[in-house]
Structure 1
Amino acid sequence: MMESWKVALLLAFFAPSVLTYKTYNGYKVLRVGPVEMDYFEAFAELEHDPRFDFWSRPRLGNDNLVMVSGDELSDLTKKLIKLDIEFSIFIDDVGPTVSKEIKEHEFLKSITRETNSRNITFERFMEFAEIQAYIDEMHSAYPNLTAVVDLETTFQGRQIRALHLSNGPGKRMVMMDCALHAREWMAPPVCLKTIMELLDNYNVNKELLDLADWWIVPVANPDGYVYSFEKDRFWRKNRKINFPSPCLGVDPNRNYDFYWGGENVSDPCSLTYPGTGPFSEKESRAVGNQLLAQSGNIAIYLAIHSYGELIVYPWGYTTDPPPNAAELHATGKEAAAAVFAHRGMEYTTGTSAGLLYPQFGAADDFALGVANVPYSYTWELPGGGTGGFNPPASDIIPVVTETWDGIKSMIRRATAARE
């Protein structure tokens, strides 16, 4: 137990950073690219600079959106000019965008009235406490099909909670988590839609519980998720104190024990800071320990993120494909086709490092490379709104509906396969 005077000192040290909601007035978003191979590596290195917020991982041959404060705009543009990379202003002032989104959320929260028997809504983005309450409610409603599992207690004392769904023993497992990156608000509705479909629509979807047990974490980064609602819309990491640095947080999706630290990022202020060592963070351990505990029994692992319209699979640490790349690709393409059938949303399928820039210590790589999960994916949901991270609440239902069909496609194929 840390002495009380140390706790008080830490609170005093960090208190100024959490007094008000961050307005982002004067911040701009640049549309950068397309970035070609000759300059891509140097451009991608900018992702680790804490002054520049990449709204999706650097992508070769495509436009990239990068947010920067007005004070740092000149330095970023100088670097891009030096690299001979084209850019333009995409959002001139992020402040009004953030203000509008928060006002919309509060308005919808004040008027939302659930129209079904479950305490869930897809008319707005649900907050963490509401999601936890929904998990408990579903367990109470379906005690014979569910178990609530508290996996870890976060740095700030919140529970990382999984709902385990099973209609009988002897089956392989589907493992799924959402919102490992806090600001990706579209991810939890996908996990919640999955839970609702499997339980409230059990008669329709019984086949999917006959095929596998399901293990679902709707919010894998509770502290960060809460902070993104209460203080900073674009907060990505967890809320771990990195004393003596004034910068909080670790990127949980760089913290898994598989090629950890390969990007050589040591600055806690970086949005991609991987922590002090592999599995130093509760968020990565919560899922990683379960992957290891069920090693050999997991049919498929799905990490739900946003945004990018991508279904990616390992490896992230190298452009070399895994041994089962052909099957991973075919399964991803089949899921993308199921999504496309709804409203023409096009997903791209490929390896993480092949489509994007290499990353190290990622969950999907760990699942395949260490936990021996044969089908391992990161699903990057569609963006929306003015830049990607602020899709309107009206996008929730179309996104979760089409994604559910893609997930069903994946599960059927993965559970039918035998290693």
Structure 2
Amino acid sequence: DKADMADTTTVKGSQFNQPLLEFSGACAGCAETSYARLVTQVCGDRMYISNATGCSSIWGGPAATSPYTVNKAGRGPAWANSLFEDNAENGLGFFYGQKALRDRLEEKTRALLALDYTDEDVKAAGQAWLDTMSDAVANGEAAKKYVAALETVLNARGDCGCDACTLGREILAHKEFLAKKSIWIFGGDGWAYDIGYGGLDHVLASGEDVNVFVFDTEVYSNTGGQASKATNVGAVAQFAAAGKTMPKKSLAEIAMQYGYVYVAQVAMGANPAQTLKAINEAEAYHGPSLIIGYAPCEMHSIKGGMANCQSEMKKAVDCGYWNLFRFNPALKAEGKSPFTLDSKAPAGGYQEFLMNEARYSALTRAFPERAEKLFQENEELAKARYEHLVKLQELYA
């Protein structure tokens, strides 16, 4: 236990926290597991995961075992797999279930504190728990002290049958639900951009405190490499054998239009500090959060293989193929701009980046003229996207 060294606000400090994801059996170099592992280091001891069917449900829940683990206190992620079609709603159900249980515990706690003969230590611990109900970090410690105070008093009094003891025992019967849980909804772009988008939109629009992490591989990775709405112009995939002709869907900007959804685009290999900051901000935000992580996949056929996954993320950001930004509505109340563009201006080498992946370079061999046209369009769209993000930053400033 290195609690005195762990600090989830810094990249180095976060790595002193035990990762609660291990031995996943995913493809070597898989970006999805890197993101999920980091999330568990931030809040894994109190998180629930609703995982859409796809790669992350295969490495996340292989038969007869689980890569998610627990710490020495026996706490770790509670994981469940749901369908493409309803995973977001399933995750929202986790939230509502927790909320109903905690609302009941809050009601009982307020009743307990209102009794004149309730023990003073219990009153103090119970009030501290009430005061921190919406703060996941502080509430965990408050819940421990509240449980300890209740157990001490009840053990000393025995079964006297008074209202205070009755309420105390009813609260302890559900003590595992006292601490605020962190609800996470995991899935790939096939789920978030396509088949499960309606449910995802419904959940984001709910305004409830749930966190969504999308592993964006820009293709249906687990089912054989079909094109999705996240697939970019010119990429070769099933159902787009001659290169996709339509632009990538801007899921992040769609979500930003609500104005009350926390939204971030991240790429760990390009900027690990920004990735960690987005996870912490999403976890702390009292409302729906959406993080979209760029996740190079073996379907991309990167030169040199998936050992270069993290460096490929950096190349994608440096050339402007993928942009890093965060939209935090909570900053509005502080009089600050909610939008932060974390990417620098593209440094060039865009076409070289495309040619480093066989999903693009293959088109030059099959349809060279078409490839030239589509790749040029891809780059122009990327330039326009960055210019648009710069204007957004100026607009919100």
Q: TM (normalized to structure 2)?
A: 0.25
Flag the structure with larger Rg.
2
Q: TM (normalized to structure 1)?
A: 0.24
Q: Which has the higher helix share?
A: 2
